[in-house]
Structure 1
Amino acid sequence: MENLTYNSPVLQLEGLVISEHYIYPTFLSLLFAYVLVVISNTGILLLIIMERSLHKPMYLLFCNLPFNDVFGNSVVVPRLMMDMLKPDSERYISYVDCVTQAFGYHMFSCASNYVLMVMAFDRYVAICNPLHYTTIMTTKMVAKLTASAWGVTLLLVCILLGLTLRLNRCGTFIANPFCDNASLFKLSCESSEINNIYGLVYTAAVAGCSIATIGLTYSKIAAVCLSSKNKSLNSKALKTCSTHLTVYMIMWSCGCIMIILHRFSGVAEYRKAAALMFHIVPGILNPLIYALQCTEIRHVILKILNAEKLMT
């Protein structure tokens, strides 16, 4: 029997499967986490924009990270919370909204890697070529690095979803807490072999470039620090690089947990929770790590707090 093509304009989301007793505690926990992500990341973003002393390449490039965290969480979490308050049978989403959410989700996950890559390049130039740092890391270079990170991300994600949008659909159920590319092309009754191949190439390219770039820059930074007897340089390198590397490891830890759980049956709900944590955990920890570790940001925050105390 041939598969029937429906191309329904409305899809049904599985969402999070939670016992009735835990719906409101989970909802309030997600609400608190989302508000914390938005306030902390927006706050540190505004702090860098408004404070002239922080208008340096390192912090200007870092601005991409809080922006991406707010964007990525806003794409997924509010919709997920609304669906939690609905019965399972009423969790509907239009196909257009589902594609839009999938686009936002993949933009967030891909951009997280590329933004950290350009930040690693900045640290490499600052530590390995400090005498030419100001001539290399100009405002124009910062704009180019930012544009390249988002441009490459946009291109890869558009191809990813473009291959899925060409397929006819005969299914309407998204077996996931939110829409992503894999959930969408699984609705198709046509061959999705090209989608699977490109998906693997896409994942390998993003992960491979990310690991290679971070590994290469940090190996060169380590070589410079080991060969240098300048304690001031080594101390500065350790502070700035440890902050960046911690943020990178948090992102990868959350991502790896999600990927590992995909390989085991019977842990679907844990996988969904891990996918959600991939958004929330870095979004909460990133501004906290930079606020505590970066001396200049910490000084600006303390200056603002002291000024408020004097006014009161």
Structure 2
Amino acid sequence: MSILNSSALRPSSLILIGIPGLESYHIWFAAPLSIIYIATVLGNVMLLLAITTVLKLQKPMYIFISQLAFSDLVLSTCAVPKMLDIFWYNSREIQLSACITQMFFIHLMLVFESSILTAMSFDRYVAVCNPLRYHSILTHALIAKLSALSLLRAIVVIVPLPLLTLRLSFCSRCIAHSFCTNMAMTKISCADITVNNVYAMFVSLFLGPVDIICIALSYSLIVRLVLRLPHKDARLKTFSTCSSHISVMSALYVPFFFGTLLTLFPNRIPVHVHILVANTYLIVPPLINPLIYGLTVKEVRQSMYLLLQNCKNRIRLWASSRVWR
């Protein structure tokens, strides 16, 4: 593979290395990643169909879950197909415009998911602490406003990243990563990247902690109320209503902040470890979110089961009609 180097250049395409240091093992990553991606798409599509087609699931919590499923689909589809292209076929070239577009949508969906999880913590707070006014507080109009605000916040915050990247010149075409990120692209730049780094630091260290503080505040109020309940069974039942949300939050935030922590030690930890951790918080949450909600939320589980049964019956009818023909 030829690597183009010069004092400053604006190439029309870039080269994604994949997982530096583990290039010979790419083919071994390809098969499980393909299975994970297929399961991710099927799981999130089923979750979306179950929520959008069943009237009893037209409730605030399930609407937020459907938005998570949609963002998970976009997030995984932005990154995984190109990763599979690299791992299966060693096709590493990507157009500069496509790389910047991929970077934009990946960061956009991560911020959007964090915002939706924050809104869901407010939903859980109202459901536990003020259940009698739940439907009067969380109206469809308020949910629409919260969702629009979450998306608008993500767009406003992330749009500067591709704009700052577009002004850069590059000393190399090779990105030591399996997908395009702001940090990976600034590393191959010849220009002054101070503004890029400062803004990326602001996004990482300000937005995430702000969302976590809001979520922690909601759950502190929930815990305070739950501990006042006289019966243990009532406390456990109340806590169980929040278990799926807590699991989804853990799946998103724990790998993300572990990866952020690793960036503080860039020279002590191998590059491939950084890349594998980054891949984890991009691949794992979209896979396990539909599993968590499909297994732990009774209404969603029943709706997904009915959806599978309907698909199975339709396939049988189609197959029998083909046989009679």
Q: Given the alignment of the two structures, is residue 152 of structure 1 paired with residue 150 of structure 2, yes or no? A: no
* SS of match in other structure, 1:73: helix
* SS of match in other structure, 1:118: helix
Distance 1:183 1:232, change over 3 A: same
Runs of 4+ in 1 over 4 A off after TM superposition: 230-233, 302-312
2:300 aligned residue: 297
* SS of match in other structure, 2:9: coil
Amino acid at match of 2:292: I
Residues 104 and 161, structure 2, Cα contact 8 Å, conserved in 1: no
Further displaced range: 268-277 or 166-175:
166-175
Q: Given the alignment of the two structures, is residue 34 of structure 1 paired with residue 37 of structure 2, yes or no? A: yes
Residues 14 and 177, structure 1, Cα contact 8 Å, conserved in 2: yes
Distance 1:175 1:309, change over 3 A: closer
Amino acid at match of 1:200: M
The alignment covers a number of residue pairs equal to 307
Distance 1:24 1:175, change over 3 A: closer
1:116 aligned residue: 117
Residues 290 and 297, structure 1, Cα contact 8 Å, conserved in 2: yes
CA RMSD of aligned residues (A): 2.3
Further displaced range: 5-14 or 68-77:
5-14
Q: Given the alignment of the two structures, is residue 196 of structure 1 paired with residue 197 of structure 2, yes or no? A: yes
Residues 47 and 304, structure 2, Cα contact 8 Å, conserved in 1: no
* SS of match in other structure, 2:172: coil
Further displaced range: 198-207 or 296-305:
296-305
What do the CA deviations read for 1:237-265 (whole angstroms, capped 9, x no partner)?
Answer: 31221110111012122213322333253
2:223 aligned residue: 222
- Where does 1:174-253 land on structure 2 (aligned, <5 Å)? 174-229=175-230, 234-253=235-254
Q: Given the alignment of the two structures, is residue 58 of structure 1 paired with residue 61 of structure 2, yes or no? A: yes
* SS of match in other structure, 1:170: strand
1:167 aligned residue: 168
Distance 1:303 1:74, change over 3 A: closer
Percent identity between the two aligned chains: 31
1:142 aligned residue: 143
Residues 10 and 169, structure 2, Cα contact 8 Å, conserved in 1: yes
1:68 aligned residue: 71
Structure 1 residues without counterparts, runs of 5 or longer: none
Residues 239 and 293, structure 1, Cα contact 8 Å, conserved in 2: no
Q: Given the alignment of the two structures, is residue 99 of structure 1 paired with residue 100 of structure 2, yes or no? A: yes
Residues 19 and 178, structure 2, Cα contact 8 Å, conserved in 1: yes
Q: State TM-score, norm by structure 1.
A: 0.90
Distance 1:73 1:196, change over 3 A: same
- Following TM superposition, by how much is the alpha carbon of 1:37 offset from its aligned partner in structure 2, in angstroms? 0.4
Residues 48 and 63, structure 1, Cα contact 8 Å, conserved in 2: yes
Amino acid at match of 2:59: K
Structure 2 residues without counterparts, runs of 5 or longer: 1-5, 317-325
Q: Following the alignment from structure 1 to structure 2, what is the Cα–Cα distance between the partners of residues 306 and 150?
A: 34
Q: Given the alignment of the two structures, is residue 261 of structure 1 paired with residue 262 of structure 2, yes or no? A: yes
* SS of match in other structure, 2:94: strand
